[in-house]
Amino acid sequence: MRAGRGRQAGFTYVGLLLAVVVMGLMLTVASRVWSTTEQRERETQLLFAGHAYRMAIASYYAHGHQFPATLQVLLLDDRFPVPTHHLRRLYPDPITGAPDWALISTPSGTGIMGVASSSQRSPIKRGGFELIDESFKDADCYCAWQFIYRPNRFSRGIVPAPSTIILPGSPTAPTPVNPATPTTPTP
């Protein structure tokens, strides 16, 4: 009778070890899903903060035709009698968690025309960006996501719809007419 109890205790011990292994595997999978979800959320926050900086730089430029010297002047622009707030607050880089943005200088080096994350991590999002952020597609690191304002590139941030672009030679493209050659109607 004693041999039966020993065998039963052995099966219980093996069952308990198997349950611990299964729970460990499930916790590993859950932590990977959690980590991926957290990184996607940080990417969304990076896009929000980057767009906020780009629009604040555009607003600053629109009010004086010059780029800001620092990000702090976007909070309170006192170049005119009535101070302007182009940005509510300075956002930290969501990927690094610190206010360590890589600043993109103007070609002349007199101002800041954009910001980028200082993180070297590889992004999860590889496509599906807005037209203004199309250069982010297939980027190798978050540092390649550069939120740059270029004057006169887009009129007030409005991007033309892709359907309005007509390529030469397409069926909807107008046929070129040479005014030097008379056109005769064909019967």
Domain regions of the chain by residue span: 40-156
Residue partners of 136: CB distance under 8 A and separation at least 6 = 123, 125, 129, 144, 145
Q: Which residues of the chain have pLDDT under 50?
A: 1, 154-187
CB neighbour burial string for 135-148, b if at least 16 within 10 angstroms, e if fewer: ebeebeebeebbbb
Note the pTM of the prediction, 2 decimals.
0.68
Predicted pLDDT at 119 = 94
